[in-house]
Amino acid sequence: MSAETNQPGQATLSAEDAKLVTLARAARARTGAAEAAALRDTTGRTYVAVAVDLPSLRLPALAAVVVVALASGVADVEAAAVVGVRSTLSADDTRVIADLATGIPVYLAAPDGEVRATVVV
C-alpha cells in the first residue's frame, strides 16, 4: 500500500473537507480524547469517532470511524480527517482506509485545526 503525502499549504481545503476537520476537532474537544477522526462517504454523509484507549481495547480514531461508517452501511469513501498530535498515518491506518477506497485524501490536522499534511491513500 503506498501513500502520497503533501505538506501543509499545498492545497486549500474545500468547504466539505474543512467540515471533516471541524467535526473531528469538536469530537476530540467534547470527549477529551487524544485523537478524533471524521469520514465522508460518496453520498455526503459524515461519520465521527474518537480513539479508544481502554485496558481491553485500543483503537486509533481512523479505525474507529471506519467501524462506525461500516455499521451505518457505507459503500464508498470520499475523504477523511484525523485531528490529534501525530503528523503521519501508520501503515495500519493506510490499510484500513484502503480497504474502503483508494485515491482519497486523509487530512492530518493539529488540535487547533491546522492541516499539517494530506495523505492520499
Residue 3: its pLDDT value, please?
A: 57
Residue 92: its pLDDT value, please?
A: 92
User: Is pLDDT larger for residue 88 or for residue 27?
Assistant: 27
Locate cell 477522526: which residue? 37
Interval 12-39 mean pLDDT: 97
CA atoms within 13 A on the CB side of 25: 15
91: confidence class by pLDDT, cuts 50, 70, 90: very high
What domains are defined for the chain?
A: 4-120 (3.40.140.10)
pLDDT at 80 over 60: yes
Can you give the C-alpha Rg of the chain in angstroms? 13
* Model confidence, pTM: 0.90
Contact 77, 50 (CB under 8 A): no
Largest CA distance in the chain: 40
Measured CA to CA, the distance from residue 68 to residue 74 in angstroms comes to 9
Residue 86: its pLDDT value, please?
A: 87
